[in-house]
Amino acid sequence: MRVSLQVSSALVLCQAILGVALPAVEKRATTTTASGPQFTNGQPDDGAGRGGPILGGTNKQIDLDNPDNLGQQSTDNGIVPNFKWRFSDSKTRIFRGGWLREQVIQDLPQSHDISAAQQHLDKGGVRELHWHRVAEWGFVYAGSVLISAVDEFGRYQVEKLNYGDIWYFPKGVAHTVQGLEDGNEFLLVFDDADFDKAGTTFNVDDWIAHTPRDVLAKNFGLPASVFDNVPKPNPNIFNGTVSTKNVTDGPAGYLSGNASFVYRTLQHEPEKVPGGGGEFYKIDSTNFPASKTLAATFVRLKPGGLRELHWHPNAEEWLYFHKGYARATVFVGNTNARTFDFGPGDTAAFPDNSGHYIENTSETEDLVWIEVYKSNRVADIPLTQWLALTPADLVAQTLKIPIEIAESLKKEKQVLIA
């Protein structure tokens, strides 16, 4: 029971017993003298009679970083699950040569299509030779890496990737990644919500260590003793020296052109953004043909800018926030909506066809994030364009707005609004 109710009840009781009038007390008492909304101070208190201070255990920093979780938005409604996961809450696995922390469906149950990881490689550090039962998509955001891959036809590719460069390895493609600078880091995305479960990743040394030696000798035409030092258990990431050997004379040739597993985002022009709010790069099968199961965007939004209200008709939206601070309200239908606050290292999964926006809440810093969809293309339907291409009188009647306003709505996608 709140303190104000306890005090009020006691005074009423005294008045009844003594038969005298006592001074009136305020109906609302707080533990602070501050006035006005207290959300940005980490308290679920609107300053106008709703809510109050947190008196029990809480994580003050998380409360301060997430004022919308405290009820700041009066337009939020209903019970909406958590669509957010912080990589900082993931267990980090450290190795000689780097580290890995991941987000799978057990961390973010609302992400039904996609899981992801941040991976760090030291100079010379190697993510050992392996393949997956699922497709892998990577985005380099620090340093540079060497990727090497071989497909089912014996075609191969060895490329150096820098900031903004992307790779896509279809399921089953053999590959490896090595760090080339003093610090190298990248985002990994998989078209399966639980990519780390058993039977999803296959490391070459793990396989060799669990194959009879006489079979290995027969397969490779080598003495069995060659494999005496194969690591057990497999290291996942290990220290190495930067590769200097070139691969030549592959019988099926080099993976290039439309067959290439590499896309260099920043060497292409961004999409047209009429709203003037930033840069929007689309990376899907229309410009990166190899990427058949994962489509993505790389977005830079100016301070105070807005990714216009829209929804995606073809897939869930998975997000990784790299720099800056954001707010997004997700409308899931039937009057239910919830607002989330995001910062660097946060991930999110917005439901298939849910209406939403993303706003840069900083006055000085660009917001940089990546969107990924389990699809062969990026697709969205903006709210404004839909209304503008609907008979204006129907829009006006539905929203109870002047018909002149309905007729003035922009017919072209704005995407990023300044």
Percent of the chain predicted with pLDDT > 90: 90
Percent of the chain predicted with pLDDT > 70: 92
Alpha-carbon distance of 268 to 29, in angstroms, equals 59
Write the pLDDT tens digit of every residue in 280-290: 999 999 999 99
Amino acid at 200: T
Write the pLDDT tens digit of every residue in 253-271: 999 999 999 999 999 999 9
The answer to whether 139 and 190 have CB atoms below 8 angstroms apart is no
Angle at 188 between CA 186 and CA 193, to 5 degrees: 155
Q: What is the reported pTM?
A: 0.90
Write the pLDDT tens digit of every residue in 197-213: 999 999 999 999 999 99
Residue 182 has what DSSP assignment?
S
Residue 26 known to be catalytic: no
> Is residue 112 part of an annotated ligand binding site?
no
**Around Cβ 345, how many Cβ atoms within 10 Å?**
17
**Is 22 a residue whose pLDDT tops 60?**
no
- Paired tokens of 391: 């008979």
> Is residue 175 part of an annotated ligand binding site?
yes
| Residue 282: its H or E element | strand 278-283
Ordered by where they begin, the domains of the chain are 3-58 (no CATH), 86-263 (2.60.120.10), 270-417 (2.60.120.10)
Q: In the block, which residue shows the tokens 């001074």?
A: 23
Q: What is the mean pLDDT of residues 54-58?
A: 97
Supply the pLDDT for residue 34: 65
> Is residue 356 part of an annotated ligand binding site?
yes
Nearest Cα to Cα of residue 127 among 86, 85, 167, 87 = 167
**Active site residue: 371, 404, 407, 412, which one?**
371
Alpha-carbon distance of 316 to 191, in angstroms, equals 11
Residue 386 phi/psi, 5-degree rounding, is: -60, -50
**Is 10 a residue whose pLDDT tops 60?**
no
Alpha-carbon distance of 303 to 324, in angstroms, equals 9
> Is residue 312 part of an annotated ligand binding site?
yes
Please report the beta strands in 58-114, taking only residues with DSSP state E, as ranges in sequence order. 84-86, 92-95, 98-103
Supply the pLDDT for residue 403: 98
Amino acid at 11: L
pLDDT category of residue 137 using cuts at 50, 70 and 90: very high
**Is 9 a residue whose pLDDT tops 70?**
no
Supply the pLDDT for residue 297: 98
| Residue 385: its H or E element | helix 383-388
**Is 233 a residue whose pLDDT tops 90?**
no
pLDDT category of residue 245 using cuts at 50, 70 and 90: very high
Write the pLDDT tens digit of every residue in 64-98: 999 999 999 999 999 999 999 999 999 999 999 99
Residue 87 has what DSSP assignment?
G
DSSP code per residue over 31-58:
S----S--GGGT--B-SSSSB----S--
Supply the mean pLDDT for the chain: 92
Supply the pLDDT for residue 232: 87
**Is 390 a residue whose pLDDT tops 90?**
yes
Using DSSP bridges, classify how beta strands 145-150 and 237-238 pair: parallel, antiparallel or unpaired: unpaired
pLDDT category of residue 187 using cuts at 50, 70 and 90: very high
Q: What is the mean pLDDT of residues 394-401?
A: 98
Write the pLDDT tens digit of every residue in 328-368: 999 999 999 999 999 999 999 999 999 999 999 999 999 99
Supply the pLDDT for residue 35: 84
